[in-house]
Every structure is written in structure tokens, then in C-alpha cells.
Chains A and B, each alone.
Chain A
Amino acid sequence: MTRYTSATEDDRAEMLAAIGVESAAELFAQIPEPLRLGRSLAIPDGLSEAEVFERLAALASRNADAESQVCFVGAGMYDHYVPAIVDAITQRSEFLTPYTPYQPEISQGGLQVMFEFQTAMSELTGLPVSNAGLYEGPSSVASAGYLAIGATKRRRFVVSRGVHPHSRETLATYSQGYGAEIVEVGLEGGLTDAAALAAAVDGETAAVFLQSPNFLGAVEDVEALGAAAKQHGALLIVACDPMTLGVLRPPGECGADIALGEGQPLGNRLDFGGPSFGFFCASEEQIRRMPGRIAGETEDVDGRRGFVLALQTREQHIRREKATNNICTAQALNALGAMVHLAWLGRHGFRELGELLVRRTAYARQRLAAVEGVELLHEAPVAREFAVRLDAPVAAVLEHCAERGIAAGYPLGHEYPEYEDGLLVAVTERRTRAQIDDLADAIGGAIAGHHAHGAFVAGTVEPAATRGSFSTDGVQKAPQAGGVA
């Protein structure tokens, strides 16, 4: 008996007798003998709760998180303040431990949350239909591609290079399966090259993919860029950052057929990348092609208002090979976190937060641009993130800042070789003016140091030495390191 099971020896004996077998082994006799493991797994023995906690706390302490470092890294996930009520509500058993609301009579809480969430996302994006959530951002982009093929019967995507590199790569991965060709359109001055985009779109184009603000932080003129899509009957698919939609014009007003994105900034932790949720909103025309769960309002037999999963025939459990998508989750708990965060911010708080981001970002951009050896990578308008060029190796500058407790940003060179010297800097409401000033000083110091000393070597900090208080011994000696085959 482990701590999570309850069957005592007496229980087992009674249960075996009721089944009519001598031992549980007889129940496993249906597994052909050669396929039975016949030994213990090469996994260490179980540990007490206190030991497990210590083991995981030791691992956690070897990570430089946004509590121990001042985090200016964004690139799709942001260190926002998640209000306390989000944790209080999402940790309630009634939200944490049920499954998909297959039985609506006893799932009204979850279904109503979905309905409220759909309303919020629809309102933010300016599109009439929202689903209850997808896995996360980039795979939502790939799902939009699948929808576009179904809607247009065409198989070519025109994708701006301003779309998140993870989204572009995920779209390419999925395209190997459902069969689509991708044409990439470059950036000019931080923004999608409008002439190149217009030239790339034709009658074979299923969809045009834009992102605003784009990966370099620049706010795109979605309406102007989208005209080419409209002209050729292609869908206009716009990835957006929900936290900017209190101030930026919603994609639905700019002609987008689909607006989607990574939901993490709303009520979700960084969690080293997940779980979070993807949101997915569309025009009325696409409602029956939407991926994922959708809650709808109705009444019960006594005329009481209630909610159910609507339009289920789109989904895999009914339509099987003809489903609009294979997804079977709504990331319901993550969407609940978003909904509570949005309610907490409220109509005006959400707008004010957007304004705060724009103003602090403007300050940070100006402050960094004034640093010797830093120049703006582009001058396009930005909302919450911006890109600079550094007159010193980016890795070395990041290392210098990290040693001073600052995660200075996201290096662009890996995914944009043309911006080898580029750094993407993100701002949230947690990043104070003083921290921004520190960042500017640290970057300035790093660049000055680089030029003063020729070149200093990046990567001098050993792994696991991030925090002085941590001793690696506890983990190194742990049985799991050698115990697993």
C-alpha cells in the first residue's frame, strides 16, 4: 500500500475472493509471459513527502528565476504580476480536479468560466467567436493553418518574418503533415515588408500570417498589410499579445479572420514555458471550422439558464478523421487563471496596464538608446518590447548583466542571423524605473568593459553556481542519478 492507495491486506483478500482469483498476478495473466517485466523498474524506491519536497526544492534552487534576477526577457512569455486571487481560485479542488465537462449538469462552474473567457477573448480581439483555449501559442498558429486549408482548399501560406520564430517553426512542422508550402516575407525597418508581402500573395494563398506587436516588438499596421489577403480571398491570421489589447487596435477591427496567440501573460506563471494556453478567435464564418472546445449558453428542462459544450460535431470524439482538429483539451485551468486576472484588472485596469507598459517601454527604449554602444534595431512604434543592437558580443553582455542579477533580454542572433548583434528587451509592470536604469547601466558597463579590455570571455560562470547558498552535493549523491537505465 502506498500513501495514495487504500487497499489493506484484508481488502485485497476480499476483493480477490469476489473476483474469484487467488492473486492479483492471475489478473495479469492476460499479458503473455515474455512481455511481463518480471523485475522492478530501474527507478529508485519511493521517498517520503518531506524528502521529495527537499529534492525538488534543491533542483529549483539551481534555477535563476524572476524572483532572484530582474527579468527583462520576453519573447512570448512575460514576467507579469499574477494577483493572489488567481492562485486562490485556480487551486480550489472544484476547478483543479474535474475533467472536461462531459456531464454539463455537474460542470456548470467550468462551463460558465469557459463562456466568460470566450466573451473576454472575443472582446479583446474584436472577433465574435472564441474557443475555450488551445495548448499554447505557436501550436495555435499551426492549427489556424489547418483551418485555413479547410476553408480555402488552398495550400500555401505567406508568413511574415515578424511572426514568432517558434510559431513559424511549428507551422512548418505541422505543414509536413497536412501538406502546405510556406513563403516567408522579410522585415524592413522592423516591420513586415509591405511590398514583398503584396507580391507574395496570390490566388493560391490560403492564409497570410502576421504578428502584432511582431517578434521585434514593432506594432504592425495590420489593416494595411492585410489588404493583400482580402484581395485574393486568403484568410488573414494575426497573432497578438493579449496584454497589449487594452491599447492596441484589436485585430478584428483590422480585418483579421482569425486572431490568436500565447495566453501566458494573462494570469499564468512563466513555468519555464508551460503549461499556459493559446487563445483562438475568429469571424462568425469560421465557427464550424474552429478547433477546440466551445461553451454555449442554453436552458435546462425547467427553463434555467445553463451552459454546455456546443458544436461538438467539429471535434475528434465525434467526427474522428474528419475533425477540425485533433485537440482534446481546453487548458481550462490556465484559461480560468486568465479570466480571473482579467476580471481583477477590469475594464479600466486593463487599459491602464497597457498604457503603463507602453510608457515604461518608451522610457526603457529611450534610456537604452542613450547608452554608448547601444542603438535601436528599428524605430517602429512599440508597445511592451523593443530591439536594440549592441556594439559588443550579445552573449558577453548578457553574461555581464546576469552576474549583476539582471536577465537583460533575449538574444536575437540564434533565430535571426541578420541580427547577430540584436537584443530583445521586454518590460512588464514589475520592471520599475530604477530597474530599467540599472539595466541601462549594466549594458553600458558591459559594452564599455568590452572595448576597454579588448574582449572578455563569456560563459565563465559554472553551471549550478547560480546561487551561493546551494550545494550540489545533495543532488549529485541522490540515487536517481545512477539508478535509471
Chain B
Amino acid sequence: MADANYPDDLLYHDQHDWARLEGDDHAVFGITWYAQDSLGEVVFYDGPEAGATIQKDSSYAEVESVKAVSDVIAPMSGEIVEVNDSLQDAPERINEDPYGEGWLVKVKLSSPTEAESLLAAAEYQKLLES
């Protein structure tokens, strides 16, 4: 994905993760354009299994490039209900389409109000510039 891009319909965590709220208590998580760009070409994604519980601000997965490993931080807490299995064979989707086919997990949120602490697209971009 060539150019920086931060969709307005997502919420952002300052550790370069995004959340897309679905309904009252579900969300999809992934990493931002900035995160995948800093990491370089993703060669491996080591994600959690469905059913795992994840905690806001804690690591729940790892993404690897050839010479770096990055923890993926949960923007919100909850239980994993679906994982993106296609990343096992095609981790490059995280680079190619970080907000679409490169999504990581779908989560049933345990505290939907945590959304209030996340950043809007403009705020996140301001953070990146500073």
C-alpha cells in the first residue's frame, strides 16, 4: 500500500493499532498503515486462537518482518471470536491492505466503553506528526 491512509471510521490506539466497532459489543482489530510501513514487509503473523481473552494495552499477537518482531497491542479488552486464518499463508496482506484483508482478529468486547479512550483518525495523525 503506497500512501499513508487513516480511515475516519476507525478508532486508533497510540501503539499503532486500529479498532472498527461492529454493533454494540464487537470490534475488528488490526495494525495501522504507519505500523506496517515501519515494520517493512511482513513475513509472519503469530496470532491468538479464537476463545482467547485479551486485555487492553497488552500484547496479543506478533508480526514479524525479516529483521524485526513487533508486539501487537490490544486497543480494547475482550474475547477473540474470529481470527484471520488467511494471514498464515499470506501475511503480506497486512502490508497490502492493513484495514481490509489484513485485519487480524474479531473480538467480543468486555468493556465497550474503552472506546472512549481511543483516538479519532485526525488525533492519531497528529500524534504521528509530533
Contacts and interface: CB of A to CB of B under 8 A. Distances in A.
A322 B44 contact: no
A322 B46 CA distance: 14
Nearest to A288: B44
A472 interface: no
Interface stretch (B27-35, B64-72, B94-102, B120-128): B64-72
B66 A312 contact: yes
Contacts of B69: 313, 318-319, 322
A288 B46 CA distance: 10
Interface residues of A, number: 6
Interface residues of chain B: helix, strand, loop or mixed (majority):
loop
Contacts of A313: 43-44, 64-69
17 contacts: A288-B44, A288-B46, A312-B66, A312-B67, A313-B43, A313-B44, A313-B64, A313-B65, A313-B66, A313-B67, A313-B68, A313-B69, A318-B67, A318-B68, A318-B69, A319-B69, A322-B69
Contacts of A288: 44, 46
Interface of B: 43-44, 46, 64-69
Contacts, number: 17
Nearest to A308: B66
A312 B44 CA distance: 12
B94 to A, nearest CB: 15
Contacts of A319: 69
A318 B64 CA distance: 10
Contacts of B68: 313, 318
A322 B68 CA distance: 12
Nearest to A310: B66
A211 to B, nearest CB: 32
A318 B66 CA distance: 10
B46 to A, nearest CB: 8
A425 B18 CA distance: 66
A192 B64 CA distance: 42
A313 B63 CA distance: 10
